[in-house]
Structure 1
Amino acid sequence: VFIRPEDTLESLYGDDWVYVARFNRIDRRHVYPGMTIKSPKNMADIRDYSPLPATYEPARPYDRYILIDMEEQWLGAYEYGVLKFSMPAATGKDGYETPTGVFHADARHRNHTSSLYKVEDQSAQYPMDYAIRFHVGADNVAYWIHARDLPGRPASHGCVGLYDEDMQKRIFMFPDRPVLADAKKLYEWAVGESAYEGVDSGELELLEDGPVVEITGKNPRYLPTPQRAAADVKK
């Protein structure tokens, strides 16, 4: 579907916009005139869409196992090898690829912000709400799963981003009515108070026996997309 100036996901798909957004790995803030998105012939085909396997043998011994497929730009949460839920993700862009391999989550930080990168207008450090750290590189750079924008393609500097429209509204004043909250959902399942005793202070906390995080594949290849005009940016 070609996006016209008057189009939004809601105007095109009504209440089904959520499924189309997930299918395209994109948030509402990044749907702009001149781009095209994938549109299903039958909406029922994507309402429970997940490109990840319903069962995953390496996850069978673990009560919490996170699988991230970079080619699919998708994350799955497994309990004893069974997929409990899954969600789109944005991994590291070319030149900043997310490290692959098998890791363990070793820290949580619900109110984390980037120490290196700022938001588009440079007014504040980039928010990384509901952050789960899974790796610290030899250069002492930390990699997290956290809330961020999802533009429909790999976009980060190595971290793994998930939907959080509450964060977008707080920082960018859009969307008016936040709906998508995948970063919070994963955080509460993986490292929240139900998984660890004690109150989550919101500050950085080291974890013992954090869930396994497996990252596989390579970044997908895309055709060139239209350049986005500054006037199209939703703030």
Structure 2
Amino acid sequence: MQKAAFIAILLVFFCSCKQQNQEILVSKKTIIRKHPKKISFHFENTKEWLAKTSDNAQIRIVLAVNRTDKANLGKMDSIIIPEDLTGDIEFYLPFPIAVPYLKDINKVIFFSYPTQTFAAYENGDLIYTGPTNMGRKKDPTPIGLFYTNWKAEKTTSTFNDEWDLRWNFNIANKLGVGWHQYELPGYPASHSCLRLQEKDAKYLYTWADQWILKDDENVLVKGTPVIVFGKYNFDAPKPWLQLVQNPKVLNISVAEIENTTKPYLNSILSEQKKRENTASKE
């Protein structure tokens, strides 16, 4: 009787440990984000703010809100500052945290022209977002569905051979358009490419998939889908300046992402299936 009771206790203990380990595994996959108490913005003198701020997480948020990088932030007279900088960066940028419509898409990247931001989703969940500076008025970034092609840690611009582009990932091979690290002056300024901060360019460089070539002339499997959408008013003030009056003015709704993706959904899922079938044969 005592032996049976002892075995029962051991079984309970073993099951409890097993349950706890499963919970830990699940929690490691869960994305936990900190929401700021309030989302609002104000203008502040750039030099004064930088003189009193050394927190890298807060600086990263301010760079994103102003669509710029650290080198160019210092050149601005005044910048937009969130009242509460204790949240995660996702809550200061316009893309929705979750889009159920995207649940069947393993990976997809969006670039929003009007808000000058990008977002990467995995099965409908936002996993990474940040600022971008896209094509200037003279050389606009093309709109529509693209797929990541080839990539290079460092390459040279086709416009100027003195321009080094780091973490370059091409999305339109014949047009020579892709994302890469380069200076962000805080407005669309590129020759049609998608400029990113180095940290963001490197993340997407590692995260996205390259195409798989059948031979020198034919593509067997396309890479990660990239959707560039919206229009930028080059003749108006920077859109994000409106955040001071209305912190929700640039918000991209779930419905907008759904409507933007819908025309391309079948193509995306078809290419995704090709990649899965190719991987299963290897």
TM-score by length of 1: 0.70
Match in the other structure for 1:23: 65
Q: Is the 2:181–2:201 contact (alpha carbons within 8 Å) kept by the matching residues of 1?
A: yes
Change (3 A) 1:9 1:213: farther
* Aligned equivalents of 1:34, 1:82: Cα separation in 2: 34
State the match for 2:157 in structure 1.
114
Query: Paired residues, what number?
Result: 186
Q: Does 1:39 align with 2:81?
A: yes
The answer to which structure, 1 or 2, has the higher relative contact order (CA under 8 A, 6+ apart) is 1
Identity %: 25
Judge conservation of contact 1:20–1:46 (CA < 8 Å) in 2. Answer: no
Task: Tell me if the contact between 2:44 and 2:81 (Cα under 8 Å) persists in the aligned partners.
Answer: no
With 153-162 and 23-32 compared, the bigger mean Cα shift is at 23-32
Q: CA deviation at 1:219?
A: 1.6
Is 1:135 the counterpart of 2:135 in the alignment?
no
Aligned residue number for residue 182 of structure 2: 148
Structure-1 residue corresponding to 2:209: 191
SS in structure 1 of the partner of residue 63 of structure 2: helix
Deviation of 1:147 after TM superposition, in Å, equals: 0.7
Matched, 1:13 2:56: no
Q: For residue 223 of structure 1, what is the aligned residue in structure 2?
A: 237
Q: Which has the larger radius of gyration?
A: 2
* CA distance 1:57–1:99, shift in 2 (3 Å): farther
Go from structure 1 to structure 2 and tell me whether the alpha carbon gap of 1:35 and 1:73 turns closer, same or farther (over 3 Å shift): same
Deviation of 1:97 (Å): 0.9
Question: Which amino acid in the other structure matches residue 187 of structure 1?
Answer: Y
Question: 1:210 corresponds to which residue?
Answer: 223
2:75 and 2:166 map into 1 onto residues whose CA distance is 29
CA offset at residue 104 of structure 1?
0.9
- 2: CA distance, partners of 1:34 / 1:214: 31
CA deviations 1:17-65 (Å, max 9, x no partner) are: 2211111111111124562211122223664422112233564332210
Distance (Å, rounded) in 2 between the aligned partners of 1:223 and 1:115 = 30
2:54 aligns to what SS in structure 1? helix
Structure 2 length normalisation: TM-score? Answer: 0.59
CA distance in 2, matches of 1:91, 1:14: 28
CA distance in 2, matches of 1:11, 1:57: 42
Unaligned runs of 5+ in 2: 1-42, 213-218, 239-282
Identify unmatched segments of 5+ residues in structure 1. 119-124, 165-180, 197-205, 225-235
Q: Map of 1:65-84 to 2, 5 A cutoff? A: 65-84=108-127
Greater fraction helix: 2
CA RMSD of aligned residues (A): 2.6
The one of 89, 92, 99 equivalent to 2:135 is: 92
The CA distance in 1 between the partners of 2:177 and 2:189, in whole Å, is 14
Which residue does 1:172 correspond to in 2?
none
Checking the alignment, whether the CA contact within 8 Å between 2:63 and 2:73 is kept in structure 1 is no
Give me the whole-angstrom Cα distance separating, in 2, the residues matched to 1:60 and 1:155. 34
